[in-house]
Amino acid sequence: MTKFNHNTTGIARLAAMARLIPKVSIGLALSALVITSAAQTSYYYDGGIQRTITPQPNLVAKLTTPATTGTRSTESSANAPFVTINTSGSSRSIDANSSPVYREGGSAAGRLLALPGGVIVNFKPDWSDAQIQAWAATKGYMLGQRLNILGNWYVLPTAAGQIALDIANAIQESGEVVSASPNWWKETVTR
């Protein structure tokens, strides 16, 4: 380690510090590799802004329909899936009725997220319904429900799980739409 005393000139100090830079850079690079491999992250877009999510390999979201559970009563939510987080699961036990589980951000304090299926797309405001339908047909997507909010918002149906995240990211990154996000299930806490 290089030590400096009060009599060392400024030039001598700079020269000694320059010799340390490669060692520090290599150390920082190795630290970054360890951190990256320890907590792999993924991402999605929220209104065109990239958000970080962290996979939770020890959790799997099991999706069930209201018809099998019989506990939903409102018509508006009749087709919405129920989500149960299975703590004994793993990414190897994911099937058509389940989703990987993510955590918002890179912190253990982030909300849990799952992918019940679907991509929410905001098409350009000057596009007509015919243009939107033509775009969906050209890309091989089914055009689902038009959302009852200002703008050209639609839900594109997809399978549950990772495919919904992949499709949403691909649509957003194409630059052809205003925004595309997965239709997330997000953890909530009742009061």
Eight-state DSSP code of residue 133: H
pLDDT: is 174 or 2 the higher one? Answer: 174
* 52 burial via Cβ count (<10 Å: 0-12, 13-18, 19+): middle
User: Are 21 and 89 within one domain?
Assistant: no
pLDDT digits (tens, 9 = 90+) for 63-119: 876 654 444 434 444 455 556 666 554 445 567 788 999 999 988 889 999 999 999
- What pTM does this model have? 0.68
Q: What is the pLDDT of residue 49?
A: 96
Q: Looking at the domain assignment, is residue 117 inside a domain? A: yes
Eight-state DSSP code of residue 78: T
Q: What is the pLDDT of residue 190?
A: 79
User: Are 122 and 71 within one domain?
Assistant: yes
Q: Looking at the domain assignment, is residue 114 inside a domain? A: yes
Q: Which domain holds residue 32?
A: 8-38
Q: Looking at the domain assignment, is residue 61 inside a domain? A: yes
Q: Please report which confidence band the pLDDT of residue 191 belongs to, taking 50, 70 and 90 as the band edges.
A: confident
pLDDT: is 165 or 23 the higher one? Answer: 165
Residues 6+ apart with CB under 8 A from 141: 156, 167
